[in-house]
A = this chain, B = another copy of it.
Amino acid sequence: MNQQYQARIYVTLRPSVLDPAGTAVQSGLKHLGYENVEQIRIGKYIELKLKAENELQAQEQLHKICDQLLANPVIENYRFDLQILEPNLVGLNP
Copies in the complex: 2
Q: Does A42 contact B (CB under 8 A)?
A: yes
Q: Which residue of B lies closest to A38 (CB)?
A: B49
Contact A50 B70 (CB under 8 A): no
**Min CB gap A94→B, angstroms:** 6
A65 at the interface (CB under 8 A from B): yes
Q: Given B43, B45, B93, which contacts A15 in the complex, CB threshold below 8 Å? A: B93
| Chain A 40-61 interface mask (CB, 8 Å, partner B; 1/0) | 1111111111111000000001
CB of A29 within 8 A of CB of B69, answer yes
Q: Point out the residues of chain B lying under 8 angstroms from A2, CB to CB.
A: 36
Q: Are A46 and B42 in contact (CB under 8 A)?
A: yes
Within 8 Å by CB of A34, from B28, B39, B61, lies B61
